[in-house]
Amino acid sequence: MSVNQQAHAGPPYGQPQPGYQGYQQPAYGGQSLPGAPQSQYGAYNGPMPGYQQPVPPQGYFPSLGFPSKGSPVSLNSDTSSLAPNFIGSLRAPPTSGAPPPASGASHPSGHVAYSQFEHGDVQNGIPASAAPMQRPPASQPFLPGSAPTPVSQMSTFQQYGPPQASVQQLRNHMAGMTIGSTAASAPPPAGLGYASVPPVSGSFSATGSGLYTPSSASQGPPLTSVSQGLPLAQPPFPGQTIPTQRLPTQVPGFTPPPPSTGVGPSSYPPTTGAPRPPAMPGPPLPGQTVAGPPSSQPNHVSSPPPPSTMAGLHPGPPMSGLHGPPPPTHPPQPGYQMQQNGSFGQMRGPQPNYGGAYPGAPNYGSPPGPPPPPKRLDPDSIPSPIQVIEDDRNNRGSEPFVTGVRGQVPPLVTTNFMVKDQGNASPRYIRCTSYNIPCTSDMAKQSQVPLAAVIKPLATLPPEETLPYLVDHGESGPVRCNRCKAYMCPFMQFIEGGRRFQCCFCSCVTEVPPHYFQHLDHTGKRVDFYDRPELSLGSYEFLATVDYCKNNKFPSPPAFIFMIDVSYNAVKSGLVRLICEELKSLLDYLPREGNMEESAIRVGFVTYNKVLHFYNVKSSLAQPQMMVVSDVADMFVPLLDGFLVNVNESRTVIASLLDQIPEMFADTRETETVFAPVIQAGLEALKAAECAGKLFIFHTSLPIAEAPGKLKNRDDRKLINTDKEKTLFQPQTSFYNNLAKDCVAQGCCVDLFLFPNQYLDVATLGVVPYQTGGSIYKYAYFQLETDQYRFLNDLRRDVQKEVGFDAVMRVRTSTGIRATDFFGAFYMSNTTDVEMAGLDCDKTITVEFKHDDKLSEDSGALLQCALLYTSCAGQRRLRIHNLSLNCCTQLADLYRNCETDTLINYLAKYAYRGVLSSPVKTVRDALINQCAQILACYRKNCASPSSAGQLILPECMKLLPVYLNCVLKSDVLQPGPEVTTDDRAYIRQLVTSMDVAETNVFFYPRLLPLTKADVDSDSLPAAIRNSEERLSKGDIYLLENGLNIFVWVGVNVQQGLIQNLFGVSSFSQISNALSTLPVLENPFSKKVRSIVDMLQGQRSRYMKLIIVKQEDKLEMLFKHFLVEDKSLSGGASYVDFLCHMHKEIRQLLS
Ligand SMILES: [Zn+2]
């Protein structure tokens, strides 16, 4: 057997390059190729008539060439007829024998001319240089047209009423939440997950929790939280006085409500007698940023302020700014009614039903009158994820996000928006924890805000957005900086009349190759600026030359190998038959490039239990042939010719094989399986074929059969909460790490579909999929009836989705910062290159940056992500994403330009990696501590002075506590009793590749009241917060987190609704064995099913549907996802956790 002898660390692509290992710097030939005029760009998916399929690599041996080990077996069933699925006529055979595409010449002809590029849309020119003028350092107006927001927009602030855009903007002014310390809110000490947090030693004592006062002076920076689209043209700095016109504006919309960020119930009308923060009354002083009248954030207010306390404080009344007319005396204010879900605004009185939910927690701000229930923090008074999401949708969902401005914070991932690329990569490709980076390392350390980018290089774009253009520079390849090898991009500066350019990353000056020369206009811009994607766009692709290919050879098209477990459990469950049936039709949908007639991907088939069976499906055979390899200790591939075939050519033989496999193993009694040899077999097959590819492995059990990579059951729940818990996440042998390394070197990506009935050690089996950039799917206790639909949907999507092979990604940065850490499913053989055997459109890599020098506000900071990969047709390409960020000398600017969703993505991945090496409790404590430091730094340096007892949160991070709590109580960090070791390992790996939208809904699920849905519209019902107290017994709800969809039915739901949705006449008749909703012909059923379908369509995996009846046993599972509540496993409620964070912060400040 020939193991890959090539040291992985060696330069995989041609000769070693000093600057960029593995990438050879192309020579600049100086002449354009005949077939490749300079402006000949093609649309990424453009037609490619001229592209011919390269010849399959030669060198196969006849299948009989290994008589000693494999013995050919002729399958003897009469399946020569075509399967029904293959009715269509065979397509013409591929042009075998055609030479591999010559660089440059064969590709471009079919591409859409680049003239389609909309010149008119490009307005901003090079963002880097233009930035200072376009965007004031501190504020980031969301300007669709890239022009500063006209003052006229200010008028919107004057409107009263429901939160429209203007109102939302007002809220943004609210920077801080103040929580008075006096009230004792102490949640019950016992059972909280963070009891051990160092500073606090475990219990939440009453200390911090009490009153919330509206932060008077706007805690600083918040005034303009740009990220939310505040149209203010001038960024308010702390220390600046706010333009007078703003004051009035803030008030109107929210009369009664509490200060925007005033988290707390309390202060706002300090019911408990807490002293009012000094700063409150009075006009804003210079040096204070008035963040708007405290009144602007309805959602944080909980109870109506008692009149007496109002003096001076009330946030409310219009125009008054801080001291306006007396606040409304009573709860719900008419003006707020609009907020339907009760998640904000209303001063909700205590909830009778749930009053006792948080024993020990004081109830703040209960309305006068009825006997006050036990005091507790009113959940309505603390920052609401639902409100933040809603506000962003209202503010930013209607205008396209134009990327021409440096350091612009994009809309939230939960907002639907369109992107126009004008020089920076779309947020669909890159999102950052902050779009304004501290200039110095000291500042960054002080803030503790991690600087990270979440990159999804092959992200799928909505149909209305343009895919990256493909640029072909012919044989000379892409133009790059001589020193750092950065690729030509909009931030490079052309000098000396265009003869040279200065690198925006390393400042080195490089000659412009003659064929690339172009004159500059009077502004110093190349006159072909708008004709070249690499000069005017944030994202684009280059056609790679042979220098970017392994062994200086253009790659062959990749192959897919389907490897099916045919042991007893797999056969008996019907899985084997299901897979074979599905493949018959699915093979017609292999990924194709552009509008090529057929996929270039070849396919192969293996079945296995303790031994492996290879199949010869060569088109010339009448019947498929099977070759058995029983010596799994030294895996080899017994046949080469006929193993990997073109689907159309071998259609008949493949169909016959897929018909026969279930029959051949129908009576198997073999229960043991091997696993590592299966991967080795696929790897060897790809090596022999000299191509990259993907293995689809369908596996059912712990591989205990004698073979390399054999595993034992080492699951031990007693290790939970001990120092050895980390071993549950670690592979039990290093064998798979080495195997993964070999796979990556070959471009062999592994996708693993697991169907376990018991522990099968996901932590170990997942190593190869994980390190090769593959995916893992798990269907525990797989049952054909209930799970096949989900599995088949996942399989179809997985087979069809866009994927690049043999990928290497490098992130370059401008001087001052550099990429220091990486999170995701990949392999790294050095400190800079992220290698992935396969990278699909769903995979994300999170990259952390650290300072290595000072940055300057003028030049900002630049990122360039370059991904070299092989397309599904075997074309070698480079995809480039560029992003420019601002730099700041004021911490307030950092906090004003953060994105909490991205921060959580980073923190979760950081923590989930941490459990491999540290006790889980240590990881949790570190997370809490870091976030407390982030918030304490804000409080100390950015918020205006106020009483120490106030909790003040930066506007852009006001959801950090609630989301962080969700991460802390997730199954990986704090498992409940029902969570298995395999579940935890599985989730840990899943989360590591998630993008920001996925982590957002995974940690804070979406909860929709279905009974509130408007059956006549396409819209979703307004989401509500994830807490049991938001549920009504008379309603039906849907909760989704990206993996599951729960439909929860209250005990008092009207019989008619039950009949319409489930087709049964009473609550008790609803079956929770349903895995889909019945198809019934009535508007409610149709509406609910359309919502479910829509949600399924938004996620990369098909979610499992679970019906939950209130008070049924499954409800415990459902409640696990009501993440604002205290969890069974000891996770704190949101309210309790917020109090805890407050205490942590106070300790840091004192
Ligand atoms: Zn450079």
Q: Indicate if the pLDDT at residue 371 is higher than 70.
A: no
C-alpha 478 to ligand 1 mean position (Å): 14
How many angstroms does the Cα of residue 372 sit away from the middle of ligand 1?
A: 67
Quote the pLDDT of residue 740: 98
pLDDT winner (highest mean) among 125-129, 220-224, 236-240, 1005-1009: 1005-1009
Query: What is the CA(480)–ligand 1 centre distance, in A?
Result: 8
Greater pLDDT, 362 or 1129 = 1129
Q: How confident is the model over 885-912, as pLDDT tens digits? A: 999 999 999 999 999 999 999 999 999 9
Mean pLDDT to the nearest integer, 533-559: 96
Q: Is 521 left (phi over 0), alpha (psi -120 to 50) or beta?
A: beta
Rounded mean pLDDT, 683-690: 96
For residue 485, report the distance from its CA to the centre of ligand 1, in Å: 6
* Type of residue at 488: M
pLDDT at 370 over 70: no
207-221, 376-390, 847-861: range with highest mean pLDDT: 847-861
Contact 1100, 998 (CB under 8 A): yes
CA distance 795 to 929: 41
Residue 629 near residue 611, CB atoms below 8 Å = yes
Of the listed ranges 42-51, 243-252, 888-897, the one predicted with least confidence? 243-252
Q: From ligand 1's centre to the CA of 508, what distance in Å?
A: 5
Higher pLDDT, 308 or 734: 734
Cα 302 to Cα 295, 315, 505, 867: the distances in Å are 12, 13, 50, 50
Q: Look at residue 1036 in the predicted model and tell me its pLDDT.
A: 97
Tell me: pLDDT of 718 over 80.
Answer: yes
Of the candidates 659, 434, 695, 467, the one whose C-alpha atom is nearest the C-alpha of residue 564 is 695
Q: Is the pLDDT of residue 428 over 70?
A: yes
Residue 1101: the pLDDT is 95
Give distance in angstroms: CA of 903 to centre of ligand 1.
29
For 676-724, give the DSSP string.
HHHHHHHHHHHHHHT--EEEEEEE-S---SSSTT-------GGGTTSTT
Residue that has been written with the tokens 């579940």 in this structure: 983
Question: What stretch of H or E contains 986?
Answer: helix 981-992
Cα separations (Å) of 853 from 469, 476, 812, 816? 34, 34, 15, 4
Between CA 507 and CA 521 the distance in angstroms is 22
Per-residue pLDDT tens over the stretch 269-302: 333 333 333 333 333 333 333 333 333 332 232 3
Q: Measure 501 CA to ligand 1 centroid, in angstroms.
A: 10
Q: Is the pLDDT of residue 95 over 50?
A: no
pLDDT over threshold 80, residue 831? yes
Using the mean position of ligand 1's atoms as its centre, give its distance from the Cα of residue 861 in Å: 14
* pLDDT at position 944: 83
Distance 16 CA to ligand 1 centre (A): 18
27 has a pLDDT exceeding 60:
no
Q: Please, are residues 703 and 710 in contact by the beta-carbon 8 Å criterion?
A: yes
Ligand 1 centre distance from Cα of residue 510 (Å)? 8
Is pLDDT above 90 for 593?
Answer: no
Q: Report the separation in Å between the CA atom of 866 and the middle of ligand 1, taken as the mean of its atom positions.
A: 14
Token pair of 724 as six digits: 């050895």
Q: What is the pLDDT of residues 723-758, one digit of tens each?
A: 999 999 999 999 999 999 999 999 999 999 999 999
DSSP, res 285:
P
Pairwise pLDDT comparison (324 vs 1011), residue with the higher score = 1011
For residue 504, report the distance from its CA to the centre of ligand 1, in Å.
Answer: 7
What is residue 1064's predicted lDDT score, i.e. its pLDDT? 96
Computed on alpha carbons and rounded to an integer, the radius of gyration of the chain in Å comes to: 31
Let me know how long the chain is.
Answer: 1150
Distances (CA, A) of 892 to 83, 176, 323, 548, 1052: 67, 12, 26, 44, 50
DSSP per residue, 815-855: TTEEEEEEESS-B-SSSS-EEEEEEETT--EEEEEEESS--
Distance 102 CA to ligand 1 centre (A): 29
745 CA distance to ligand 1 middle (Å): 28
Q: How much is the pLDDT for 977?
A: 84
Of 93-102, 245-254, 680-689, 1065-1074, the least confident: 245-254
Q: Are 267 and 309 in contact (CB under 8 A)?
A: no
Give the pTM: 0.73
- Whether the pLDDT of residue 167 is over 50: the answer is no
Which are the contacts of 998, defined by CB distance < 8 A and separation ≥ 6?
A: 1042, 1099, 1100
Q: Residue 945 — φ and ψ, nearest 5°?
A: -60, 140
Q: How many CA atoms lie within 13 A of 1132 on its CB side?
A: 31
Cα(482) to centroid(ligand 1), Å: 6
20-24, 586-590, 817-821, 832-836: which range is least confident on average?
Answer: 20-24
Q: Is the pLDDT of residue 135 over 80?
A: no
Q: Determine the distance separating the centroid of ligand 1 and the alpha carbon of 443, expressed in angstroms.
A: 26
State what percent of residues in the chain have pLDDT above 70.
Answer: 67
Per-residue pLDDT, 376: 66
For the cut 50, the answer to whether the pLDDT of residue 826 exceeds it is: yes
Query: Averaged over 957-968, what is the pLDDT?
Result: 97
pLDDT at 40 over 90: no
Report the alpha-carbon distance of residue 1147 to residue 199 in Å, rounded: 7
Neighbours of 62 (CB within 10 A): 12
**Ligand 1 mean position, distance from CA 240 (Å):** 39
The torsion of the CA quartet 124, 130, 133, 136, rounded to 10 degrees, works out to 90
As given in the structure block, the two tokens for residue 83 are 């399967």
Supply φ then ψ for residue 1134, to 5 degrees. -55, -45
pLDDT per residue as tens digits for the range 561-573: 999 999 999 999 9
Whether the Cβ atoms of residue 48 and residue 111 lie closer than 8 Å to each other: yes
* Beta-carbon-side half-sphere exposure of residue 727 (alpha carbons within 13 Å): 13
CA distance to 424, 428, 465, 840, 862, per residue, from 883 (Å): 5, 12, 18, 21, 6
Q: Check residue 584 and give its pLDDT.
A: 96
- Answer yes or no: is pLDDT of 620 > 50: yes
pLDDT value of position 140: 32
495 CA distance to ligand 1 centroid (A)? 15
Q: What 3-state DSSP class applies to 670?
A: coil
Residue 782 contacts residue 577 (beta carbons within 8 Å): no
Q: What is the Cα 918 distance to its own chain's centre?
A: 25
**Interval between CA 20 and ligand 1 midpoint (Å):** 12
Decide if pLDDT at 1145 tops 90. yes
* 483 CA → ligand 1 middle, Å: 5
Mean pLDDT for all residues in the chain: 76
Alpha carbon of 14 to ligand 1 centroid (Å): 21
Residues 6+ apart with CB under 8 A from 860: 128, 131, 406, 407, 814, 884, 885, 886, 887
Q: 876 has which bridge partners? A: 870
To which residue do tokens 């109506």 refer? 304
Instruction: Express as a percent the part of the chain with pLDDT over 90.
Output: 64
**Which has the closest alpha carbon to 822: 848, 857, 802, 799?**
848
**How far, in Å, from the CA of 486 to the mean position of ligand 1?**
5
Q: Which of 662, 124, 169 is nearest to 405 (CA)?
A: 124
Distance 32 CA to ligand 1 centre (A): 24
User: What residues have CB less than 8 Å from 689, skipping those under 6 apart?
Assistant: 56, 57, 60, 556, 559, 602, 640, 643, 644
950 band by pLDDT with thresholds 50, 70 and 90:
confident
For residue 567, what pLDDT is reported? 97
Task: Single out the residue of 205, 140, 141, 209 nearest to residue 177, CA to CA.
Answer: 209
**pLDDT score at 569:** 96
Residue 190, pLDDT score: 31
Q: Give 946's pLDDT tier (boundaries 50, 70, 90).
A: confident
The CA 493 to ligand 1 mean position distance, Å, reads: 11
> For the chain, how are helix, strand and coil distributed in percent, rounded to 5?
30, 15, 55
Model pLDDT, residue 445: 96
